[in-house]
Amino acid sequence: MKRIAVFIVIAAALQSCSVGTSFRETVTDNGIVLRVTGSTGVFFGIVSQNTAVRYEPSNLASEFQVDSLQVRFTGEASGNSATNQSPLGPQGWGLQITLTDIRIRTDANR
């Protein structure tokens, strides 16, 4: 009887894991582009100046790949545990984000 109870508990736990959760969020924020040295080499990330959240953009254009560049950005952050799509980027440094707009900050748009 104990074995059946244990089996039912394990089966229920596994089933709940397969459902997963997903999210998609549009983010607009001020940030600083940072040159980061990771385990697989150098990449560029963005750190939010408002919330200190770290983002790994999948499509940061080369003209924005400048260490300490202050930017204003908008993008789509997403993840889904059901499909093993981690909310972290490939480097595991920050949330993955697909940029839809990025601009160099000036005094006029701070």
**Which pTM was predicted?**
0.71
**With 60 as the cut, is the pLDDT of residue 10 above it?**
no
Q: What is the pLDDT of residues 29-39, one digit of tens each?
A: 999 999 998 77
Mean pLDDT of 101-105: 95
SS3 30: strand
The dihedral through the CA atoms of 89, 95, 101, 103 has a sign that is: negative
Pairing of β 22-38 and β 95-104: unpaired
Q: Tell which wins on pLDDT, 37 or 15.
A: 37
Q: What is the pLDDT of residues 23-81, one digit of tens each?
A: 788 989 999 999 998 777 899 999 998 888 899 999 999 999 999 999 999 999 887 65
In angstroms, how far is CA 75 from the centroid of its own chain? 10
CA distance 74 to 87: 17
For the domain 21-109, what is the CATH code?
2.40.50
